[in-house]
Amino acid sequence: MKVRVDPDRCQGHTLCAINAPAAFELSDVDGHATAVDGEVPAEQQEQVREAARSCPERAISLS
């Protein structure tokens, strides 16, 4: 599974990092998220799915 955060949609709610802290980094400036690594390890996939579901801006895409 791959994860990507759309920088134009992310508003810095930080819910992704709360749900999957190993998969997302937050900007110190505005809290906007980026994926730590595009490829998600099997043991983190359910957390990343939950992060995508919890994003109010639907900025996280999985493939």
CB 6 within 8 A of CB 28: no
Which DSSP symbol is given to 56?
Answer: T
pLDDT of residue 25: 97
pLDDT tens digits along 14-43: 999 999 999 999 999 999 999 998 799 999
DSSP secondary structure letters along 4-54: EE-TTT-----HHHHH-TTTEEE-TTT--EEES-SBPPGGGHHHHHHHHHH
CB 61 within 8 A of CB 29: no
pTM of the model: 0.91
pLDDT of residue 38: 76
**Mean pLDDT computed over every residue of the chain:** 96
